[in-house]
């Protein structure tokens, strides 16, 4: 699965890890994240992410 990087703060979403503290289970592809997902580091929305 592809990793995605926040273009605002460079935080990386790794689907193998998910974001358990935000309720995102490990193994969740970026495409399956909820539309209201925001970067846990800077609160940017999904449109700020690009494939790494």
CATH number of the domain that 26 lies in?
2.20.28.10
- Answer with the residue of higher pLDDT: 26 or 1: 26
Q: What is the pLDDT of residues 28-51, one digit of tens each?
A: 999 999 999 999 999 999 999 999
Distance from CA of residue 9 to its chain's centroid?
Answer: 12
Quote the number of domains for the chain.
Answer: 1
Q: What is the pLDDT of residue 50?
A: 98
DSSP string of 1-52? ---EEETTT--EE-TTT-BGGGTB-TT--GGGS-TT-B-TTT--BGGGEEE-
Specify the pLDDT at position 30. 98
CB 3 within 8 A of CB 13: yes
Q: Could you tell me the residue range of the domain that residue 26 belongs to?
A: 4-51
pLDDT at 10: 98
**pTM reported for the whole predicted model:** 0.93
Tens digit of each residue's pLDDT (9 = 90 or more) over 9-31: 999 999 999 999 999 999 999 99
Backbone angles phi, psi at 4, to 5 degrees: -125, 140
């Amino acid at each position: 699965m592809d990793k995605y990087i926040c273009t605002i703060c460079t935080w990386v979403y790794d689907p193998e890890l998910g974001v358990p503290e935000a309720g995102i289970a490990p193994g969740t592809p970026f495409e399956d994240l909820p539309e209201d997902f925001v970067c846990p580091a800077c609160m940017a929305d999904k449109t700020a992410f690009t494939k790494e």
